Amino acid sequence: MAPISTRISSTPRLMAAPSGFTASLERLAWMAGSLFALAVFWQIIAVYADSRYLPTPLAVFDVLLREGANGNLWKDTSATLARVAVAFVVSMFIGATIGIFLGRYRTADKFFDAWLILFLNLPALVTITLCYIWFGLTDAAAITAVALNKIPNVAVNMREGARSLSKDLDEMAVIYKFGWWKTLRHVTLPQLAPFFAAAARSGLSLVWKIVLVVEAFGRSSGVGYRLSIAFQEFDVSTILAYALAFILVVQIIEFAVLQPLQERVTAWRR
Amino acid sequence: MNGVNRSLPIRVDVRSKVFPAVGDRPPQLVLKDVAFEVAPRSFLVITGPSGCGKSTLLNIIAGLDTDFSGSVDLGPAKDKLTFIFQSPRLLPWRTVYENIALVLPEGDPRHAQIPDMIERVGLRDAMNAYPERLSLGMQRRASLARGFIVEPQILLMDEPFVSLDDPTAISLRALLTELWHRHPTTVIFVTHDRAEAIQLGTRILRLAPGKASVAQDVTINLTEAQRHDQAAILAEQNRIFAA
Ligand SMILES: Nc1ncnc2c1ncn2[C@@H]1O[C@H](COP(=O)(O)OP(=O)(O)OP(=O)(O)O)[C@@H](O)[C@H]1O
Ligand SMILES: [Mg+2]
């Protein structure tokens, strides 16, 4: 049997750990520089095109300030964030449970594999319209629709993790009479943590995109709703302003919450 | 537990153990008619060529492998069994100390002995290190400390002292002997090292290569004093392995 160290390190290393403060500073500088270049590029094209359908970055920034001042930006962003949070937690929890179950029980996996493929390929638009038709234009329907889109994704990720669980460590836990709770907490979950972190990071970006669609379709608050109104008025500045604001919010969550979390769960690695 | 119960031997009777075919590899008959009893508090050494089925046999005795024909009766001490595996099998995300502490129930008085045990296996400076940052020999010692701390009544050990330097191996053998004398423990010990087998064991079981069955079953006749005497060990080794 392979020694455990080789088994474990065959799980994916999901992120090149930034080595030290200077490295992350350098990364930040590169990011700022490249974003600035993009803004300059955008400005040039916008000035050249001179169309109301392609506002300059500064015009978009003005809209951002206006929406911030009149309060819409905060109201809608927080409404969307709340939906993202609920949908994210629900789909991570249910998806992880299904994935671990399928990873551990081969017969169940054989049976449900086809279902999983079906749901993986179901277009988001179909789940959204069906949920609204079946459950009405409610928040519950909206969140169900988002979760249904995300769950198969999480499940596939976690199934991979559960399949690669170390038999050696399981036997160790049996011999030392860990019981199910200790085994789950100290043996199983730490092995699944990298997969969970990967699912969480890809999950957040998917969930917030779908939440916007769901809001545009059948809600009267949130960034998606704001975008749909702006669309009716062909108000590109507002569309871009809200999009940028939300990208910023999601990136802050990514850097402030998800990345540190991922670093923590992999701290023991060599 | 009363005295009568405690004197029951461990009974192992493996009629056959076959690993099923994988891919184009045919089914493998690994163990065939391996039957023996182990007296309580004795120290049985199992030797045999690499790949003959020693680890497989220990897995069966430990109850980890139930897919065989035959029976294993561990007697009344069956809930107090510990297995020191051939690979260290530490949790990579827990430190050496945490790995050892985890095998004891919460609030168990033996927690107080952990630092001492870590010291005994020579890992004081690595107490708070993560296993993957230790050498294989150090991981092995951590796994020994983890096995010893639970004070088992049946102790299975699969080549526990390989990849250790001589002084370390000697001191760990002494630690094992001490624990074996202090607590009522039945030991089943797998090794390739003949001198080690003679020095530690009260009896040797040699498995034959191929379809492993018992090739030889001998009692080691050494006094406690002779076990520290190189010449006596060598003489006994010649007597047993010449056959
Ligand atoms: N899970 C398995 N599936 C198939 N064959 C196996 C499996 N485990 C062991 N074997 C085979 O069983 C035989 C005995 O293996 P085992 O690990 O018991 O040997 P061993 O006597 O402990 O050897 P070593 O001294 O090298 O540790 C080997 O031929 C091995 O290929
Ligand atoms: Mg072996």
Long-range CB pairs of A60-68 (<8 Å, 24+ gap) are: A60/A237, A60/A240, A60/A241, A60/A244, A61/A241, A62/A237, A63/A237, A63/A238, A63/A240, A63/A241, A64/A241, A64/A244, A64/A245, A67/A238, A67/A241, A67/A242
- Cα atoms found within 13 Å of the Cα of residue A44, Cβ hemisphere only: 5
> What's the whole-number mean pLDDT along residues B120-131?
92
Residues 6+ apart with CB under 8 A from A32: none
- Flag if A4 and B81 touch (Cβ within 8 Å): no
**Percent above pLDDT 70 for chain B:** 96
The pLDDT of residue B243 is 64
Say if B83 is an interface residue toward chain A (CB within 8 Å): yes
Exposed e or buried b per residue across B3-26, where buried means at least 16 C-beta atoms within 10 angstroms of its C-beta = eeeeeeebebebeebeeeeeeeee
Q: Is the ipTM value over 0.85, yes or no?
A: yes
Structure tokens at B151: 């004070």
- On whether the CB atoms of residues B86 and B158 are closer than 8 A, the answer is yes
State the closest ligand 1 atom to the C-alpha of B28, by its place in the atom list counted from 1: 5
Residue A164 pairs in a beta bridge with: none
* pLDDT for B4 beyond 60: no
**Nearest-by-Cβ selection for A270 from B85, B91, B132:** B132
Residue A175 touches chain B, beta carbons under 8 Å? yes
Q: Give pLDDT, residue B212.
A: 66
Average pLDDT over residues B30-36: 90
Number of Cβ atoms within 10 Å of the Cβ of B121: 23
CATH code where residue B32 lies: 3.40.50.300
- In angstroms and rounded to an integer, the radius of gyration of the C-alpha atoms of chain B is 18
Question: In the prediction, which pLDDT does A140 show?
Answer: 92
Report chain A's C-alpha Rg in angstroms.
Answer: 22
SS3 for chain A, per residue?
CCCHHHHHHCCCCCCCCCCHHHHHHHHHHHHHHHHHHHHHHHHHHHHHHCCCCCCCHHHHHHHHHHHHHHCHHHHHHHHHHHHHHHHHHHHHHHHHHHHHHHHHCHHHHHHHHHHHHHHHHCCHHHHHHHHHHHHCCCHHHHHHHHHHHHHHHHHHHHHHHHHCCCHHHHHHHHHCCCHHHHHHHHHHHHHHHHHHHHHHHHHHHHHHHHHHHHHHHHCCCCHHHHHHHHHHCCCHHHHHHHHHHHHHHHHHHHHHHHHHHHHHHCCCCC
Residue A94, CA atoms < 13 Å, CB-side half-sphere:
15
Instruction: Tell me the domains of chain A and their CATH numbers.
Output: 55-265 (1.10.3720.10)
Separation CA A234–CA A155 (nearest Å): 39
Percent pLDDT > 90 in chain B is 58
User: Do A91 and A207 form a contact (C-beta atoms < 8 A)?
Assistant: yes
Please count the structural domains in chain B.
Answer: 1
Interchain contact, B91 vs A171, CB within 8 Å: no
Average of per-residue pLDDT across B145-169:
92
* Ligand 1 cavity residues, CB under 6 Å: B 19, 28, 30, 48, 50-56, 86
Over residues B121-144, mean pLDDT: 92
Count Cα atoms within 13 angstroms, Cβ side, for B55.
13
Answer whether 0.80 is exceeded by the pTM.
no
Ligand number nearest to the C-alpha of A1: 1
pLDDT of residue A13: 43
Give burial (CB, 10 Å; 0-12/13-18/19+) of B218.
middle
Token pair for residue B230? Answer: 């190189």
C-alpha closest to that of A210 among A153, A143, A119: A143
Per the prediction, chain B carries an average pLDDT of 89
pLDDT at residue number A52: 84
The pLDDT tens digits of the residues spanning B177-223 come to: 988 888 889 999 999 988 899 999 999 998 887 766 777 788 888 88
Residue A5 has a pLDDT of: 41
Best residue for ligand 1 mutational test, from B54, B86, B188, B193 (most atoms within 8 Å of Cβ): B54
Enumerate residue ranges in chain A where pLDDT < 70.
Answer: 1-20, 270
Q: Is B144 part of the contact surface with chain A (CB cutoff 8 Å)?
A: no
The whole-number pLDDT of residue A251 equals 86
Q: Which chain A residues have a beta carbon less than 8 Å from that of B90?
A: 4
Sign for the CA dihedral angle at B67, B20, B154, A174 comes to: negative
Residue of B14, B16, B18, B19 best suited for mutating to test ligand 1, as the one with most atoms within 8 Å of CB: B19
**pLDDT at residue A20 in the model:** 67
Of the candidates B87, B94, B130, the beta carbon closest to that of A3 is on B87
A187 lies within 8 A of chain B by CB: yes
| Structural domain boundaries enclosing B48 | 2-241
Which region, left, alpha or beta, applies to residue A222 given φ > 0 means left and ψ of -120 to 50 means alpha? left
What is the distance in angstroms between the Cα of B152 and the nearest Cα belonging to chain A? Answer: 10
For residues A54 and A90, what is the distance between their CA atoms, to the nearest angstrom? 38
> What is the length of chain A?
270
Distance of CA A42 to the CA centre of its chain: 27
Answer whether B152 touches A (CB < 8 Å). Answer: no
- Sort strands B43-47 and B214-219 into parallel, antiparallel or unpaired: unpaired
Closest CA to B43 of B181, B141, B170: B181
